Amino acid sequence: MMKATVQGLSEDLRIATGDFGSIDLGEISEARLKKILEQVSKLSTPPEVDGKQQCPPGLHIETHGDIVSFTMDGGKIFCANAESEVGLEEAVAMATGKSSTRKKAAAAREGSEKPPVRMKHIPPTDQTNLSPSDIDTGTNSPQIATRVWKSGGWRGMIFVGPVMAAFVFLGAVGFALEKVWGAAVGAVILGIAFCLLPFLASRIGHTQFRLGFDWETNTLWTQHGTQKLRFYPDANRTVDFFVQKLKIRPGSLGHVSFSGGDPRYRSTGSRVVWNLMIRRSGSVDWDVAALTTQHEANEACAKAKDLLSRQG
């Protein structure tokens, strides 16, 4: 039997919701796994909402001490661990440990166990009915916070504003030469508004990214602004944090350049995000945040490393 969780799906697995929240399916059989892959792979990732990327249909299987992650879209199945598209039968084989690709990947990692590397007296996370409301994110939870962009769209306004202002001011000059004073004044006012756009975008477009540990539940948790709390089990297996650059190609699914983590992206144009990653003992790497700039990702990573060093 395997433990399964899904993302970006309704509870009946019939609708792609785009929600990053996870749904625990509990233990499933190989036959049930095949039915889920076959059914969900027919769904498509919802379009962006207010410039925000939606979560593609995703399935995570935990078995034999490993997590195997799949994203699905329009009849295609992409395996993050193999960094490639796979067929239905191969996906089942990889999830159940019967695939040679899966075995080679597992053999390449040091050790097949998943021992804790800190807070060793704490038992593994009890994931039975564990929900975000059970995670302590208050003052009792060791945590860090850093200022980040809400999304790449907000940061883009910093560059759009001056360009639009330049065009509008040129228009104002043209109106002035033609002695159309009302239009010229209106264009100047509009140009000034565009000049203020970067300032407003910076003030409104930033939010707070928080990361912390709840040792009562043995979880690592993150929250990006007002987005839903995300949490990760067995926090005492956290070895390190690092930053990974991810280039998202037009129409591609996430995790095109590394293994592990949960699938979270679909792109309508090429862009780059900076993932804050966690390295865990006896497991693939997981991403815990997709940040807009390298600077803010490095800053969050440095703070997370410092926080980790102060845990037992």
pTM exceeds 0.75 for this model? no
Mean pLDDT for the chain overall: 75
When comparing pLDDT for 236 and 50, which is higher? Answer: 236
3-class secondary-structure state, position 38? helix
Q: What is the pLDDT of residue 222?
A: 93
Q: What is the distance between the alpha carbons of residues 211 and 300, in angstroms, rounded to a whole number?
A: 9
H-only helix segments in the chain: 30-40, 88-96, 100-108, 152-177, 181-204, 294-309
32 token code pair: 């049930």
> What distances in angstroms separate CA 268 from CA 54, 157, 253, one per listed residue?
12, 18, 10
231-246 pLDDT, tens per residue? Answer: 888 899 999 999 877 6
- The contacts of residue 76 (CB under 8 Å, 6+ apart) are 41, 85, 253
Q: What is the distance between the alpha carbons of residues 81 and 59, in angstroms, rounded to a whole number?
A: 12
Highest-confidence range of 133-137, 204-208, 285-289, by mean pLDDT?
Answer: 133-137
Residue 298 has pLDDT above 70, yes or no: yes
Residue ranges of domains in the chain: 1-108, 120-148+207-312, 152-204
> For the ranges 14-28, 238-252, 261-275, which has the lowest average pLDDT?
261-275
User: Nearest-CA neighbor of 116 among 211, 233, 235, 242?
Assistant: 235
Q: Residue 213 class from Cβ within 10 Å (0-12 exposed, 13-18 middle, 19+ buried)?
A: buried
Q: Residue 81 class from Cβ within 10 Å (0-12 exposed, 13-18 middle, 19+ buried)?
A: buried
3-class secondary-structure state, position 179? coil
Q: What is the distance between the alpha carbons of residues 130 and 240, in angstroms, rounded to a whole number?
A: 24
Residue 256 has pLDDT above 60, yes or no: no
Q: What is the pLDDT of residue 100?
A: 52
Q: What is the distance between the alpha carbons of residues 104 and 98, in angstroms, rounded to a whole number?
A: 11
> What distances in angstroms separate CA 292 from CA 6, 152, 176, 197, 266, one per listed residue?
25, 5, 41, 19, 15
DSSP conformational letter for 124: P
> For the ranges 101-110, 164-173, 284-293, which has the lowest average pLDDT?
101-110
The predicted model gives 180-194 an average pLDDT of 59
Q: What is the pLDDT of residue 202?
A: 65
- The contacts of residue 202 (CB under 8 Å, 6+ apart) are 158
Q: What is the distance between the alpha carbons of residues 61 and 95, in angstroms, rounded to a whole number?
A: 6
Contact between 207 and 225 under an 8 Å Cβ cutoff? The reply is yes
Q: Which residue has the tokens 């005492």?
A: 236
103 token code pair: 């075995």
> For the ranges 93-102, 225-234, 267-276, 280-289, which has the lowest average pLDDT?
267-276
